[in-house]
C-alpha cells in the first residue's frame, strides 16, 4: 500500500506543515476506516501537543475539544482520554481555566494555554517536527521486493 500523492505540495516543505493536521490528513488520507483506527500509542504521545495547539487556536471547553479532535479525523480519541489530559496539563501549569455559565446545563470549564503552555507547545512542536521529518523520510523509502 502506498501513500497517496500529496494534493498541496510535499509534506514537510514547510516545517509547520508537519503539525498542520488538515495537511497531514490530506497527505495521508482523511478517512480512517472504522476497522483501522489510529494507533492509540501514537496518539497518546502527541495528545498533549494537539490539545495545546487546539486551545492556542481558540479557548474551548472539554466536550468542544473532543468534537474538534473528531472533526480533524481523530475519532478514536474519547472524552475519557481528553479530560484527564486536560486536568494533567492544568496541574502542570500549562493550562488555565475559567467557568462560564451555560443555559443548557452546568457551567462549562474553558481552557486556554498559559505562558508555560505556549512554551511547552513551541518546544514540543520543534521536537515533533524533527522526529516526524526523520520518521516520514524513513517510511517513504521503498520496501525491498523480498524480505531479507
Question: Among the residues of 4-148, which ranges form H helices?
Answer: 21-28, 40-57, 62-71, 79-91, 115-139
pLDDT in tens, 8-55: 444 444 444 444 444 444 444 433 444 446 777 777 779 999 999 999
Amino acid 115: pLDDT: 98
Q: Report the distance separating Cα 38 and Cα 104, nearest Å.
A: 33
Q: Report the distance separating Cα 88 and Cα 94, nearest Å.
A: 9
Quick one: CATH architecture of 15-135? Orthogonal Bundle (1.10)
Q: Which cell goes with 77?
A: 480519541
Q: Where are the domains of the chain?
A: 15-135
pLDDT in tens, 25-38: 444 443 344 444 67
Q: Report the distance separating Cα 91 and Cα 116, nearest Å.
A: 12
Amino acid 76: pLDDT: 85
Q: Report the distance separating Cα 57 and Cα 121, nearest Å.
A: 12
Collapsing DSSP to helix, strand or coil, 17 comes out as: helix
pTM of the predicted model as reported, rounded to 2 decimal places? 0.71
How many CB atoms are closer than 10 A to CB 145?
A: 5
* 123 pLDDT higher than 90: yes
Amino acid at each position: 500500500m502506498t501513500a497517496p500523492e500529496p494534493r498541496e505540495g510535499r509534506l514537510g516543505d514547510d516545517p509547520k506543515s508537519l503539525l498542520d493536521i488538515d495537511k497531514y490528513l490530506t497527505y495521508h488520507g482523511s478517512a480512517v476506516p472504522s476497522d483501522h483506527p489510529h494507533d492509540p500509542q501514537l496518539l497518546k504521545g502527541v495528545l498533549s501537543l494537539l490539545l495545546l495547539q487546539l486551545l492556542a487556536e481558540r479557548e474551548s471547553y472539554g466536550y468542544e475539544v473532543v468534537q474538534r479532535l473528531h472533526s480533524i479525523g481523530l475519532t478514536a480519541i474519547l472524552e475519557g482520554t481528553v479530560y484527564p489530559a486536560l486536568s494533567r496539563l492544568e496541574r502542570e501549569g500549562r493550562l488555565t481555566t475559567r467557568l462560564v455559565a451555560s443555559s443548557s446545563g452546568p457551567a462549562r470549564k474553558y481552557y486556554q494555554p498559559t505562558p508555560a503552555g505556549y512554551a511547552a507547545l513551541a518546544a514540543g512542536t520543534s521536537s515533533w517536527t524533527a522526529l516526524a521529518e526523520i520518521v516520514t523520510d524513513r517510511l517513504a523509502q521503498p520496501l525491498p521486493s523480498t524480505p531479507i
